[in-house]
Chain A
């Protein structure tokens, strides 16, 4: 679905390579999480996949970015966004400002691409039901809370039904309950066959949702693999990545001999509970 080959990129008027020789292949329907410290190039990677590099940000792009077999350079941005949808961090700036109600706001994209009115209404209603914002339909988008705006921004992209969904920290403004709901929506989209690229700091969520994790560091891919392998890798902490607190707890326990060296480190609460109860049973058996 997505095929990046030897992709390097410099923003205009800078010398620093923000992406260095990135190679990334993503299968249709795959759910890939991207992690990395600040300045690792996560957002830049999102822009490259969603066509904003090279169509919106100029600068120097080398290598090849293909989605669904089409090279991004050879397409136009307005056609590219029909295949790849992008939602990002700050929800306030994603509100178009041209519309007075949430319903109209979500329909904005469909108006632009010429979806017939009846179909438009059905699609907006479905998308709002999916993200649980039906009750907000007649509110002004500017009167909403950050979390509600975030869901409106996500819905505005989902309603366009792209094949690939690129999400750059879509839960940054959300409380834990709101974040869980949004992750639920993202997972539902993934299950329905959409390819998802998600930049996210909440490691525990990634571990339970993503098929695959890519760790970016200073513009290069450091690790790429299954969530359990990548997220517990000893490489990460030294390079400024945040580990989940369960991983940290198990590592501390391992120093005191309370976690056997052979056992895989946990990322989520469930894995930690399972691991520690096995350890406790092992202790009880040996005494």
Chain B
């Protein structure tokens, strides 16, 4: 069973060593530039000149390729085909076959949307591959994000796999008592009923106990928190963040003036 819900891969790289906020800014800068830019080729340039080289810098290129190939190429491809074939824009019809009549404009629009989606999701993937969730949350909490918010994010990542394991145990227990979980759809839906009770009510009890346990460890304390993880925030980080903001602003200006 998977121990946690996270893409993070521990490597010793220049990208890993960046401050989490810098990497988060990088991700959002890619997305904003990709979506704001008035030129249709920007998103493609971002992928080949930005995200791909960064995945090599972060030494996660193999994992990145795999995720992109399995998840993103099909999704982006689907979006491209749907928009190209069905978007009712433009006049320059390329061809007409049955109900399909793609135009130059719908093709361009499909390409734009698909590459933008590609940039958005793949920059997030790169971010998640190179940033430890609790490192990111420690850093954001230090910068003023409410501790409760950070806790909800990080603990969900860990507790969902635990709940999946528990659901498996309950299924096994109910099957050993003769519950039939195979067969027709109706039968399978019916088999969910004896699973939901223990899982849902069990989880409610768990939530209460966990709330007590973290309260017992001063979770709602009003004192200034300290952090075990030391997270670097170098002048390089700050320079990168400022230039990213500049880049986004330039793109915005380009969009407004064109």
Name A residues whose Cβ lies closer than 8 Å to a Cβ of B. 50, 52, 56, 77-79, 81-82, 85-88, 90, 92-100, 103-104, 107-117, 120-121, 140, 142-143, 153, 156-157, 160
Inter-subunit contact B210/A114 (CB<8 Å): no
Inter-subunit contact A115/B226 (CB<8 Å): yes
Q: Find the residue from B132, B220, B221, B229 having the highest chain A CB count within 10 A.
A: B221
Inter-subunit contact B210/A156 (CB<8 Å): no
Bound together, the chains give a CA A116 to CA B228 distance in angstroms of: 9
Inter-subunit contact A104/B213 (CB<8 Å): no
Bound together, the chains give a CA A117 to CA B220 distance in angstroms of: 19
Q: In the complex, what residues of A have CB within 8 A of residue B209's CB?
A: 88, 90, 93-94
Rounded to whole Å, the gap between the CB of B214 and the closest CB of chain A is 5
Chain B residue nearest in CB terms to A117? B226
Whether A160 touches B215, Cβ cut-off 8 Å, given contacts A120-B228, A142-B162, is: no
Bound together, the chains give a CA A159 to CA B178 distance in angstroms of: 47
Whether A96 touches B217, Cβ cut-off 8 Å, given contacts A120-B226, A121-B228, is: yes
Inter-subunit contact A86/B224 (CB<8 Å): no
What 16 additional pairs, Cβ within 8 angstroms, besides A81-B215, A90-B209?
A52-B215, A56-B215, A88-B212, A88-B213, A92-B206, A95-B213, A96-B151, A97-B154, A98-B134, A98-B137, A98-B154, A98-B214, A109-B218, A111-B225, A113-B221, A117-B230
Bound together, the chains give a CA A100 to CA B228 distance in angstroms of: 12
Inter-subunit contact B155/A97 (CB<8 Å): yes
Q: In the complex, what residues of A have CB within 8 A of residue B219's CB?
A: 78, 112
Chain A residue nearest in CB terms to B209? A93
Chain B residue nearest in CB terms to A97? B155
Bound together, the chains give a CA A25 to CA B175 distance in angstroms of: 51
Q: When the two chains form the complex, which single residue of A79, A81, A97 contacts B217, counting CB atoms closer than 8 Å?
A: A81
The answer to whether the Cβ of B159 comes within 8 Å of any Cβ in the partner chain is: yes
Listed A/B pairs (8) with beta-carbon separation below 8 Å:
A78-B222, A81-B215, A81-B218, A88-B212, A93-B210, A108-B214, A112-B223, A113-B218
Bound together, the chains give a CA A90 to CA B162 distance in angstroms of: 15
How many of chain B's residues have a CB under 8 angstroms from any CB in A?
36
Inter-subunit contact B213/A110 (CB<8 Å): no
The answer to whether the Cβ of B201 comes within 8 Å of any Cβ in the partner chain is: no
Q: When the two chains form the complex, which single residue of A79, A88, A111, A160 contacts B226, counting CB atoms closer than 8 Å?
A: A111
0 or 1 for each of B126-142: is its CB under 8 Å from A? (1 = yes): 00000010100100000
Rounded to whole Å, the gap between the CB of B223 and the closest CB of chain A is 4
The answer to whether the Cβ of B169 comes within 8 Å of any Cβ in the partner chain is: no
Chain B residue nearest in CB terms to A121? B228
Inter-subunit contact A156/B206 (CB<8 Å): no
Inter-subunit contact A112/B134 (CB<8 Å): no
Inter-subunit contact B4/A94 (CB<8 Å): no
Bound together, the chains give a CA A96 to CA B224 distance in angstroms of: 19
Q: Find the residue from A56, A90, A92, A98 having the highest chain B CB count within 10 A.
A: A98
Bound together, the chains give a CA A95 to CA B3 distance in angstroms of: 14
Inter-subunit contact A112/B158 (CB<8 Å): no
Q: In the complex, what residues of B have CB within 8 A of residue A95's CB?
A: 210, 213
Q: When the two chains form the complex, which single residue of A77, A87, A97, A117 contacts B228, counting CB atoms closer than 8 Å?
A: A117
The answer to whether the Cβ of B66 comes within 8 Å of any Cβ in the partner chain is: no
Inter-subunit contact A112/B155 (CB<8 Å): no
Inter-subunit contact A97/B226 (CB<8 Å): no
Inter-subunit contact A140/B215 (CB<8 Å): no
Q: When the two chains form the complex, which single residue of B4, B162, B217 contacts A108, counting CB atoms closer than 8 Å?
A: B217
Chain B residue nearest in CB terms to A104? B228
Q: Find the residue from A82, A113, A143 having the highest chain B CB count within 10 A.
A: A113
Rounded to whole Å, the gap between the CB of B229 and the closest CB of chain A is 8
Inter-subunit contact A114/B155 (CB<8 Å): no
Inter-subunit contact B230/A77 (CB<8 Å): no
Q: When the two chains form the complex, which single residue of B151, B212, B226, B227 contacts A98, counting CB atoms closer than 8 Å?
A: B151
Rounded to whole Å, the gap between the CB of A119 and the closest CB of chain B is 9
Interface residues of B in 129-183 (CB under 8 A from A): 132, 134, 137, 147, 150-151, 154-155, 158-159, 162
